A and B are shown apart, each in its own frame.
Chain A
């Protein structure tokens, strides 16, 4: 008879077979057998967080920066409910997570036992799939299936709920054979005919635009290379969603900036006026489309995505290609090169007028702001941070709010997987734990969380994790004492009634840093900013940087609610030309 293993051992055997190196977790009664087993598996390192939500976000940061699935281990009841925010966040942003939760013993399920909750019931709508393992014989197949579901097709979180008695029960273990990467419940069977149609549209368009999203990043670093080749080959302007930043170099001339609610003037106008829109791995989110009826009214629309349910969900498209982004673009490049029917030259000529128009829009300098030599402008702070860190491979995470948009606008990303932000769910408190996860995956790289003082306080406890594992993350807080985006909306939509958006009694972040055992730096005038940023970068250890910025600054440009792309509000520089009148005024 083959050797018998306990459920807890099986868990680790599976993790080893899946080449898992790190688990982010927090122990508790219902997972103690698994924690007991940890010591016997030296290839797997456990990162002890301070709150289960932090474990989830750290695993997300780890996954998004490394391309590998993030693994989370939590106990039953509150352990599981605390991780729900992170699971939902990962679900919205398509991040592969495998969450293992303990559960009360099977005979106690349904009795309202201590720390019992219906974990699979609660997490059903925020995972790709979840399992309650009621028989130890199923454990290994469920574990491997979980990794497969999480990482294939459109990635996402999964959860395995393991009752405590199953962790003790014994069973034999079948050696796992790793299959070559399948696409799971996705479809990668696009046809050459579709590629031909795409190329036809490309060669006939006069005002094209490429709109890329997180799908390009999820398709792997190769997809970004292929995208670069494709975009250079056809010479089209390219814009990106928040999640897609970095797939195409942000400082390239063909890149016209981020689009959407806080996107650039040129990107949004190009989206509105184009005659061909190629969506690659994005999902027509409402922050992107603005008013649906007036979204890109004159264009033929192409949508390339691995998830069939993303297609025609919000915007009807003329050509849908369901498949892995990298594969689709690769075959398009191949076809174009094969054809060589003068497309390269003639098409670039055809769209030269379009480029002229885009250049005109560009001269608006929609990301411009009025700098000050008295107060640090938040945009200026991000710009300086970029200038002082662009010579090294830097990973940026953010929280959610104004600072997030300023980071997206003013920090230029040249490589994929360098930008981790909570887009779909918009989770305040994401950035700090995510930075922990990123630093775990890339111990020698510079990892900065561009944060807001309100967001960062939501998960501040994870500084303790950073200190425990010597993770030199830099928390760069743009401190304006307000929940900035809330304040901005209140200013623009609710007659400046700043209801509950001002934080009284903020902590002294320098002292807070010292309390955690890391370094605190404070900056409040523009003259000292550069030196202090350098001091932060050079410090070998975690830093909380309290950057006091102008509290009244708003994030522009901006598409107000219910408006199409071509009716943006530009910044204060543009007030004279701002044609918003009447009804619009009550919006502004």
Chain B
């Protein structure tokens, strides 16, 4: 290593990266998403997907689900930094491998092809609860719900069958069983 010509130290250890899903309950007010997203970009954290919508209209609460990767230390920081934001009520953080949590993502797939190929696509989609939302003689729009990586795989697989566009919601999460996250 050449001598560092810097007033700062040089990064040395790089930890193992984990994928985590954060669920953040926030006040549904102007700028709240910018605060959360700005925290991620400002501190150099990574966002793989993000889903947000109001879930309680009377209490004015929105639920943000963020998929991110980072070292355990970074994941810890993300959680603590999120908790410091004024409109944030609570933060839950799950490992992707966590068996107690359901992760799902919805995707809309548009396939433009001949009937035969469309039929094949439907067959491929079978295990992901396909719903046909629109159908013409040369096209179809299918809705599927699956894990992120399953949808990744599907869109690759369906490309040769005429998949022309994909729209995805980003993952959302819910714990299994009767408990809710406090």
> Could you tell me which A residues sit within 8 Å of B by CB distance?
120-121, 124-125, 128-129, 132, 134, 149, 185, 286, 290-293, 307-309, 311-313, 316, 489, 493-494, 561-562, 583-584, 586-587
Contacts and interface: CB of A to CB of B under 8 A. Distances in A.
Contact of B84 (A124, A309, A493): A309
Given A313-B77, A562-B10, 15 more contacts: A121-B34, A125-B38, A132-B30, A290-B9, A293-B12, A307-B84, A308-B80, A309-B84, A493-B6, A493-B7, A561-B5, A561-B9, A562-B9, A583-B3, A584-B3
Interface in B1-16: 3-10, 12-13
* Majority-rule SS of B interface residues: loop
A128 B7 contact: no
B6 A561 contact: yes
B31 A308 contact: no
Contacts of B42: 125
Most A CB contacts (10 A, CB to CB) among B9, B34, B73, B76 go to: B9
Q: What 10 pairs across the A-B complex have the smallest Cβ distances?
A: A309-B80, A129-B86, A562-B4, A586-B3, A493-B5, A125-B42, A583-B3, A308-B80, A309-B81, A561-B4
B9 A292 contact: yes
Contacts of A489: 7
21 contacts: A121-B31, A124-B38, A125-B38, A129-B86, A132-B30, A149-B86, A185-B86, A286-B8, A291-B9, A292-B9, A292-B12, A308-B80, A309-B81, A311-B80, A493-B5, A493-B6, A493-B7, A561-B4, A561-B8, A562-B10, A583-B3
A129 B32 CA distance: 11
A107 to B, nearest CB: 16
A293 B10 CA distance: 10
Contacts of B3: 583-584, 586-587
Contacts of B104: none
A562 B11 CA distance: 10
B117 interface: no
B90 interface: no
Contacts of A292: 9, 12
B1 to A, nearest CB: 9
A128 B13 CA distance: 31
B35 A124 contact: yes
Interface string B22-63: 000000001100110010001000000000000000000000
B73 to A, nearest CB: 6
Interface residues of B, number: 25
B96 interface: no
Contacts of B38: 124-125
Contacts of A308: 80, 83-84
A124 B30 contact: no
Contacts of B83: 185, 308-309
Nearest to B4: A562
A128 B86 contact: yes
Given A309-B77, A561-B4, A120 B9 contact: no
Nearest to B7: A561
A286 B9 contact: yes
A185 B31 contact: no
A176 B68 CA distance: 42
A128 B7 CA distance: 28
Interface string B63-81: 0000000000100110011
Contact of B76 (A124, A128, A312): A312
A312 B73 contact: yes
A562 B83 CA distance: 33
Contacts of B73: 312-313, 316
B31 A124 contact: yes
Contacts of A286: 8-9
Contacts of A129: 85-86
Contacts of A132: 30-31
A52 to B, nearest CB: 23
A308 B6 CA distance: 30
A121 B35 CA distance: 9
B45 to A, nearest CB: 13
Contacts of B6: 493, 561-562
B31 A120 contact: yes
A149 B10 CA distance: 36
A132 B85 CA distance: 16
A431 B53 CA distance: 46
A494 B5 contact: yes
A128 B88 CA distance: 13
Contacts of A586: 3
A17 B92 CA distance: 38
B7 to A, nearest CB: 5
A587 B6 CA distance: 9
Contacts of B77: 309, 312-313
A120 B31 CA distance: 9
Contacts of B12: 292-293
Nearest to B86: A129
A349 B76 CA distance: 40
A124 B41 CA distance: 12
Most A CB contacts (10 A, CB to CB) among B4, B12, B85 go to: B4
B40 to A, nearest CB: 11
Most A CB contacts (10 A, CB to CB) among B5, B6, B8, B77 go to: B5
Contacts of B84: 185, 307-309
Interface string B109-153: 000000000000000000000000000000000000000000000
A292 B13 CA distance: 10
Contacts of B76: 312
A586 B31 CA distance: 49
B130 to A, nearest CB: 42
A286 B6 CA distance: 13
B152 to A, nearest CB: 32
Nearest to B87: A129
Most A CB contacts (10 A, CB to CB) among B8, B34, B80, B86 go to: B86
A543 B159 CA distance: 76
A497 B153 CA distance: 56
A242 B80 CA distance: 25
Contacts of A291: 9
Contacts of A125: 38, 42
Contacts of A493: 5-7
A312 B83 CA distance: 15
A169 B62 CA distance: 30
A293 B12 CA distance: 8
A587 to B, nearest CB: 6
A286 B80 CA distance: 20
